[in-house]
Structure 1
């Protein structure tokens, strides 16, 4: 593992206290094992050299955190009922619930993190497109795709796309709800999964799905007061 990758991984453990900030990246060297620890945080110049200038460094950290969340979905424990039935895989519901639990460590910082990802890097792009929808859609699709993979979903052809679009829509709605009402997020997710056939039809078209996810992210970002 390269030094930058090692520091980035260490910085993930600082997100609950430092948020998705350059400071978390700078102080990652202080959280290394004793044999590798530094006596002072990285300089701003070093953070830029290792992780990117300005908000690009924050985007590097946010994307690493999102990737770790995807990775942990593969470790979803099976429910007691599944163990009794010797089911080899967790259910879609269990997997999405675990992904919501992953958010809990950084919940207060997520609106600003999503705003950072959705804000184009260049000034010209910001003038033309204040919010970029691509990161929002990628985030939702990756979670839906991993949930299907981990659960063993074997949908084919058009059903493959429709299934993932529906699950991405369900998860995005649950994530938005989680930011507004963390205590009821899991119950809300269950209610969406129970009525997923309706959502399946409403977001199956790619264009409609993309617009739905982006509107959800806009709601998340605006609720935080970032914009």
Structure 2
């Protein structure tokens, strides 16, 4: 019988995150959920061979989970509004919420050296969510408005997600509040800059609060 692919094992590891976090343990136990389960979890050497050494494997798992989050925004319908898509993405976080601060800190920590905090993953994550929300809603924005609107949605979603880490029960209402001002934010570059600054400061705080670096 052919050995299972790393992609298949990553998919099997995703439901294990709620219990084991974004860890090598979750990856090692993925083989226990094959149609014909392995008798024991993968060895640490096997996890490294399939997914990378040390924290690289954990980042691989987190990135696979983030990809699943993009898919979750579509929901069960062929189209959705921007608001529905962003709420669906927040809901996707809920089963693993306790593990997200450490995972975000891990993603923002550089492989080595400087800078002490890598802002690129945070911005890429927010940009993908914003792009997907606009795509599935059939957003017609173009040219400058295209960039401004997506930048605004990046800020709105990221602010709601960061709020969710501290106050899960009010995250959806907080998102609604931010979206209710979107008409103003849409045309205000200064508001977009304010959101971006908030996002980066918040991610920096998450990294400093975790024993990642």
Secondary structure of the corresponding residue to residue 176 of structure 2: helix
2:38 is the alignment partner of 1:38 = yes
Measure the CA separation in 1 of the matches of 2:211 and 2:54: 21
Q: Which moved more, 1:179-188 or 1:210-219?
A: 210-219
Q: Structure 2: which 5+ residue stretches go unaligned?
A: none
Measure the CA separation in 2 of the matches of 1:12 and 1:224: 23
State TM-score, norm by structure 2.
0.91
Q: Structure 1: which 5+ residue stretches go unaligned?
A: 78-87
- Cα distance, 1:23 vs. partner? 0.3
Cα 1:148–1:221 shift into 2, 3 Å = same
Q: Which residue of 1 aligns with 2:28?
A: 26
Cα 1:95–1:38 shift into 2, 3 Å = same
2:132 is the alignment partner of 1:114 = no
2:7 is the alignment partner of 1:5 = yes
Pairing 1:47-196 to 2, within 5 Å after superposition: 47-75=47-75, 77=77, 89-122=79-112, 125=113, 128-196=114-182
- Cα distance, 1:74 vs. partner? 1.9
- Cα distance, 1:130 vs. partner? 1.1
- Cα distance, 1:215 vs. partner? 1.8
Higher relative contact order (CA 8 A, sep 6+): 2
Measure the CA separation in 2 of the matches of 1:66 and 1:157: 28
Secondary structure of the corresponding residue to residue 9 of structure 2: helix
Secondary structure of the corresponding residue to residue 41 of structure 1: coil
Measure the CA separation in 2 of the matches of 1:223 and 1:151: 37
Give the number of equivalent residue pairs: 209
Cα 1:214–1:15 shift into 2, 3 Å = same
State TM-score, norm by structure 1.
0.85
